[in-house]
Structure 1
Amino acid sequence: MTIDAARAQDPPERLSTHDARQRLEHERNSRLSQLNALAASEHHAADDLLSVQLDAIQRVLKEIDLAFERLDAGTYGTCQGCSTAIPVERLEILPYARCCVGCQRRTA
């Protein structure tokens, strides 16, 4: 059996609940820091840009909250599109991802 064949038979790697929770907490804290910095900013000349930034951060915070719910429900790391495991590499970069890359592309 070749190494590639053995790898194909291995179950997909998953983030532990502890690691996932830590990554999500880090993301939440980062976004809250960004939100606080924008709120404290005195640069209101570009209110439209500020509004867009605030909306984007709020959307990500909602996605993070939904990821915590999936973690508690035991469905974290499972693609909501095709029900396969979301690759660990994707979750390391985007811990609140709901879909694998393929399903994300199809919905975009």
Structure 2
Amino acid sequence: MAGHSTWKTLKAKRLLEAGAEEHSEYTRAVRDMDLGDRLREVRVARNLTQAEVARRAGISQPALSRIELGGGVPTLEMLDRIGRAMGVRFTISVGDDQAEQIDLLAG
């Protein structure tokens, strides 16, 4: 597992590769890395290894690693499985931050 300083270096490198300008590729790279950062934070806070979460979620450890590094975007179904594997429920917001908020799953 990469150490904290190695992780920050890798993140900075990915952001640099995506480009310094505000454009869709940069925005997507930042979003993917933020998601990966958050998943990693939750996993580490729960004292779970990547291998353990991956096994419980039915995915490979390298796939989980790629997601945590911002190199892969999980489907909603995979996020659900990862959340269940870590014993958490994720809430994800999409769309314009200023727009009206509607809960599609509210019954």
Tell me whether the two structures share a fold, i.e. TM-score over 0.5.
Answer: no
TM-score tier (shorter): 0.3 to 0.5
Higher relative contact order (CA 8 A, sep 6+): 1
Q: Greater share of helix residues, 1 or 2?
A: 1
TM-score normalised over the length of structure 2 = 0.40
Query: Rg: which structure is higher?
Result: 1
